[in-house]
Structure 1
Amino acid sequence: MCRTELLRRAGTLAFVLLATACGREAPRTVVLDPTTGREAVAVRVPVVVPPPAAVPTAPALPQAGLAPTPQLSNGDGAALLAARRLLVPVEGIAPSALHDNYNQVRGAGKHEAMDIMAARGARVFAVDDGKLVKLFKSVPGGLTVYQFDHAGQLAYYYAHLDRYADGLTEGMALKRGDLIGYVGSTGNAAPDAPHQHFAVVRHGPERQWWKGDPINPYPALQGTDR
C-alpha cells in the first residue's frame, strides 16, 4: 500500500506521494491551498543531471631538438670592429684623409679592403692589440703581416709592405701603435703608387689566418684619434 507523508512549509500543506512502492508514476509534489484545501499546483520534480566535467588536456610539448646555431653576419663583425679603438695604420695620415674604397671593383671581384696612399717608407703601425700570427710573401700582396686581435675574433691584414720592422717575428705580441713595417708597392701594386693595403676579416670557428668574412674598416677608422 502507498505511503503518504504530510509536509508543512511556510503555512502551506504539501503531500508527497511516494508512488515508487505502488508501481505508479514518479513522485510528484502536491501543494494545497490553505484556504480552500484544494490542489493549487502540481509540479513534477525534474531530476537534473549535471553535464560531465571537461577533462583538461595537457598542452602540446615542443619536439626535442638541438638549439639552432647562430649565424654570424658581416653586420655582426662590423659591430665588433666598431667597439675596437683602432689606430690609422700609416704614419701621418689623419682619419679625415681616408677614402672608402672597400666596395670598388678590382680585377674579377670587390676590393674588400682600404688603400691608404702614402710615401714609400712611411711607417706602418699595428692598429690594435693582439698577436702577430703570420709573415707571408704572396704574389698579390707582396710582403704581408697577419695580426689577430686579443680575442682571436678579428684578423688585421697589412699588404704591399716595402720591408718589415726589425725584430718582427711570428707569434710575438703586438700592442696598438707598435711598428710592423714600411709602406711600399710589393706584390701586384703599381710601382709608382706605394700604399698600405689594409683589410679586416672576422674569423669563423676554425680561426684560419688566411680566411674569414671581410669587414669594411673605414667606419671604425673614422672614430680613431689619428
Structure 2
Amino acid sequence: MKWLLTLLLGAALGVVGTVLWLGRDVPPTVPQETAVTPAPLPAPLPAGPTAAVPAPAPAAGAAVPAGGAGGAAGVPISSKDLPEVQPPAPVDPATTSFDIDVKPAIGPLLLPVAGVSPRELSDTFSQPRGTERQHLALDIPAPKGTPVLAVADGKITKLFTSKPGGLTVYQFDPSEKYAYYYAHLDSYAPELKEGSTIRRGQMIGYVGVTGNSDPNAPHLHFAIFELGADKKWWEGTPVNPYPYLAAVAR
C-alpha cells in the first residue's frame, strides 16, 4: 500500500511540473525583415538653355518631312535641287602678293677682280658712309693695275668719270633689268667703248684709286641695281652683290 502512494505522489508531481513548464512566459518568435537600401536618385540637370541638335540632312531623292529643308511636306528632293557649291577661285601669281623673301633672278656672276677668291670677300653693302647714307656696294681690295672683269654678258651702257666714283663703267645685263657698276678704275681696257657688247669674263679695266678713294687702299667698288622702267643708267634700286659673288666657284 505504501508503494502505491509513492507512485501516485510521483505521478502528481510530474503533472504539476508539466503544467508549470507549459505556462512559462516565452516571447514569441518574430521573423526579421531584410533591410533594403534604396538606389540613389540621379542628380537634377542644371538649369539653362538647351542646345538645338541639327537634324541630319536628307539623302538625295528622299521625301522631306513637314517643315524640313527642300520645300513643302512630302515633296521629294533630288541632287539637282541642292545648291551648287562653287570651287575656290585659282590664285594668280602675277597679281597675288606673298610675304616671302625672293632674291632677284640675276643668275651666277663672275667675281670681277682677277685672282681674288670668294673667301676673301667681305659684305660691306650695309656699312655706313658718314651719317646720312650706306655704302650699298661691295669693295674688293686688290693691287693697283689688277684686271677688272665683266661679271656677266651684257652691254657697255656708259663710260663716265665722276668725283665720287672716278673712272666708272655702267653695264646693262641682256634683259636690261639690272645694271652692274664698276668704279675707282685706274684705266679702261683698250678699245672699250659705249654700246659695245661684252662677254662674261672679258676685261673692262684695271683696279685703281680714282675718285673718292683712299690712294693707299686700291680696290674695285662694285654695285648692282635694279633698273626702273625708264632705264636710267645712273639710278635704280640697290641689290646686295655679296650673295651672288661669295658663292662663285673659282
Q: TM-score range by the shorter chain?
A: 0.5 to 0.7
| Structure in which a larger fraction of residues adopt helix | 2
Query: 2:123 pairs with 93, 100, 117, which one?
Result: 100
1:79 aligns with 2:94: no
Q: Percent identity?
A: 50
| CA deviation vs aligned residue, 1:4-43 (integer Å, no higher than 9, x gap) | xxxxxxxxxxxxxxxxxxxxxxxxxxxxxxxxxxxxxxxx
Task: Find the residue that maps to 1:214 and give its secondary structure.
Answer: strand
Any stretches of 5+ residues in structure 2 without a counterpart?
1-71, 75-93
Structure with the bigger RCO (C-alpha within 8 Å, sep 6+) is 1
Query: 2:239 pairs with 215, 219, 224, which one?
Result: 215
Post-superposition shift, 1:207? 1.2
Partner in structure 1 of residue 150 of structure 2: 126
Letter in 1 for 2:108: R
Structural mapping, 1:1-226, within 5 Å? 76=102, 78-81=103-106, 84-107=107-130, 108-226=132-250
Task: Find the residue that maps to 1:191 and give its secondary structure.
Answer: coil
Letter in 2 for 1:159: A
Query: Structure 2 CA distance, aligned partners of 1:113 and 1:190?
Result: 16
Post-superposition shift, 1:206? 1.2
Post-superposition shift, 1:222? 1.8
| CA deviation vs aligned residue, 1:52-105 (integer Å, no higher than 9, x gap) | xxxxxxxxxxxxxxxx9789x9x55x3312xx1100000110111110010000
Any stretches of 5+ residues in structure 1 without a counterpart?
1-47, 51-67
Post-superposition shift, 1:132? 0.5
Partner in structure 1 of residue 46 of structure 2: none
TM-score (norm 2): 0.60
- Between structure 1 and structure 2, the one with the greater Rg is 2
Query: Structure 1 CA distance, aligned partners of 2:153 and 2:249?
Result: 16
Letter in 2 for 1:145: V
| CA deviation vs aligned residue, 1:141-160 (integer Å, no higher than 9, x gap) | 00000000111111000000
Change (3 A) 1:171 1:70: farther
Change (3 A) 1:69 1:157: farther
